[in-house]
Amino acid sequence: MVKIEYWNGYDILDMHYEGSYRNRFWLNVDIIKPEYPVTREQNEDSQGDAHNLWLKWEKQYSFEIYTLEHVVDMLSMITMHDNVWITLENGYSGKVKDFVIDPAWSNIPSVAKVKCSFIVKSYTINGASAAHC
């Protein structure tokens, strides 16, 4: 099981977030082994060697689920919240930096296969300095 919690610092989407209200739900899904996307901006010197001006490394997990349209709606709204936490079956819990869904609608009315991806760790390097996010 994967637990997803999300809330916001102010009211959005007709949801009242005063106090300690949080959205919380569990999904019976298998987490796919992580991917490690790297985004970089490089400069080439006069000898043709590339040098990183800016580099971002991320650890991205994903899962897939067949679900009804109202759950697809809910999953698509998660990224609009400023606090998203995920807890994996092994007990790891982390703040989600980005939560993206990609629904593929099936021939069954209102049912989609949804691939959800989320980033939990990232590091940025600007020139010679590094920052953990």
Range of the domain at 18: 2-38+60-120
- Please report the pLDDT score of residue 84 as a whole number: 96
Whether residue 132 lies inside any domain: the answer is no
Whether residue 74 lies inside any domain: the answer is yes
Sign of CA dihedral 110, 31, 59, 86: positive
Residue with tokens 């349209």: 69
Confidence of residue 133 (pLDDT cuts 50, 70, 90): low
- The total domain count for the chain is 1
Confidence of residue 31 (pLDDT cuts 50, 70, 90): very high
Whether residue 51 lies inside any domain: the answer is no
CA distance 20 to 72: 25
> Against a cut of 0.95, is the pTM above it?
no
* Residue 2, amino acid: V
- Please report the pLDDT score of residue 64 as a whole number: 97
Whether residue 75 lies inside any domain: the answer is yes
Q: What is the pLDDT of residues 43-73, one digit of tens each?
A: 888 888 888 888 899 999 999 999 999 999 9
Percent of the chain surpassing pLDDT 90: 62
Confidence of residue 87 (pLDDT cuts 50, 70, 90): very high
Biggest distance spanned by C-alpha atoms of the chain:
59
Whether residue 127 lies inside any domain: the answer is no
Whether residue 130 lies inside any domain: the answer is no
Question: Is the pLDDT reported for residue 13 higher than 90?
Answer: no
Residue 40's closest CA among 133, 132, 127? Answer: 127
Whether residue 30 lies inside any domain: the answer is yes
Question: Is the pLDDT reported for residue 130 higher than 80?
Answer: no
Q: How many CA atoms lie within 13 A of 76 on its CB side?
A: 13
Confidence of residue 128 (pLDDT cuts 50, 70, 90): low
